[in-house]
Amino acid sequence: MPVIKGLEWTFDTEAELYEKMRPGYPDELYGDIFRYIPLTEDSHALEIGIGGGQATEPVLKTGCSVTAIERGAHFTDICNQKFSGYPRFLCINSRFEDYPAQENAFDLVFAASSFHWIEEEFGYKRAYALLKKGGAFARFANHPYKDKENEALDEAIQRSYAKYMPGSKMSPEYTMEMAVARADIAQKYGFSEIEAHLYTRIRSFTAAEYIRLLGTYSDHIAIEETTRKKFFSEIENAILSFGGTIRIFDTMDLALARKE
């Protein structure tokens, strides 16, 4: 679903559920990042909007230091505990817009399903300034899509959305054309050597698991509680009526860009 600006705060109210239910990213994605910008124990990385830390550990495993910026206090606490075994990790409770980092300090700046919350011009210019010469900016995100092989279930779910979230629209399935267009934005702000990559997977959920996942989406969290319970109950019953499981067809995009 499209991003609704102003709902960034909602995620932290469900931080523990978010950490459990939101997915990580495939090994192939990290392989492309580390090919583009090899990291060593001497490298320094900055993560923008760590959330529940879904994207962080593969970077930590390179041995580099990772500083994460996270506006949510609960997420900050969760991640500092989650990655306490990595002495070169630190999560700081701050908005990226307010973080007074030293410029030309990082080999990698990365953002996983978070950069769209930041105003475009500020975000790209700030990321560019924080990178060392030759450093890389990696922006990646997951784009979930409906169960394409169970149209009857999808139609039932969409009827519930029409009732409880009128006006909401499902985003189209993400394409390479979309990925390239988004990756090319970095060129406007001085980046070069732009790359765009796509990865796919299928996730399967029971009805109860899927409701827990919906409880981590910002626009769903913002629904009044009584209404939300009715909404989620209808969706859960629909899934149970059509076999008891639902699949999500994910497409993940990765945009890579270099500071000259």
Half-sphere exposure of 241 (CA within 13 A, CB side): 12
Residue 5's pLDDT is what? 41
Instruction: Report how far residue 162's alpha carbon sits from residue 183's, in angstroms, rounded to the nearest whole number.
Output: 33
Q: Where are the alpha helices (DSSP H) in the chain?
A: 15-21, 27-36, 57-60, 73-82, 120-130, 151-164, 176-183, 207-214, 218-221, 225-241
Cβ within 8 Å of residue 117, ≥6 positions away? 3, 5, 8, 49
For the chain, counts of helices (H) and of strands (E): 10, 7
pLDDT of residue 13: 57
State how far the Cα of 173 lies from the Cα of 226, in Å rounded to an integer: 31
Whether residue 4 is predicted with pLDDT greater than 50 in this model: the reply is: no
State yes or no: pLDDT of 7 exceeds 70: no
Task: Give Cα separations from 15 to 43, 70, 71, 93, 149 (angstroms).
Answer: 29, 12, 12, 14, 31
Residue 199 has pLDDT above 60, yes or no: yes
Burial class (CB in 10 A: 0-12, 13-18, 19+), 166: exposed
Type of residue found at 235 = I
CA dihedral 46, 110, 204, 178 (to 10 degrees): 160
Q: What average pLDDT does the segment 111-132 reach?
A: 96
For residue 73, what are the contacts with CB-CB under 8 A and spacing of at least 6? 12, 93
Model pLDDT for residues 44-80, shown as the tens digit of each residue: 999 999 999 999 999 999 999 999 999 999 999 999 9
Structure tokens at 243: 């076999």
- pLDDT given for residue 21 in this prediction: 80
Q: What is the mean pLDDT of residues 190-201?
A: 99
Distance of CA 189 to the CA centre of its chain: 22
Q: Is the pLDDT of residue 115 over 80?
A: yes
Give the chain's end-to-end CA distance (angstroms, integer). Answer: 35
Q: Delimit the domains of the chain by residue range.
A: 8-150+171-202+251-259
- Cα–Cα distance for residue pair 107/132, rounded to 1 Å: 6
The pLDDT tens digits of the residues spanning 226-250 come to: 999 999 999 999 999 999 999 999 9
Name the nearest CA neighbour of 258 among 124, 103, 141, 97: 124
CATH superfamily of 8-150+171-202+251-259: Vaccinia Virus protein VP39 (3.40.50.150)
Which range has the worst mean pLDDT, 65-69, 163-167, 195-199? Answer: 163-167
Q: What pLDDT sits at residue 179?
A: 98
Question: What tokens does 244 get?
Answer: 């008891």
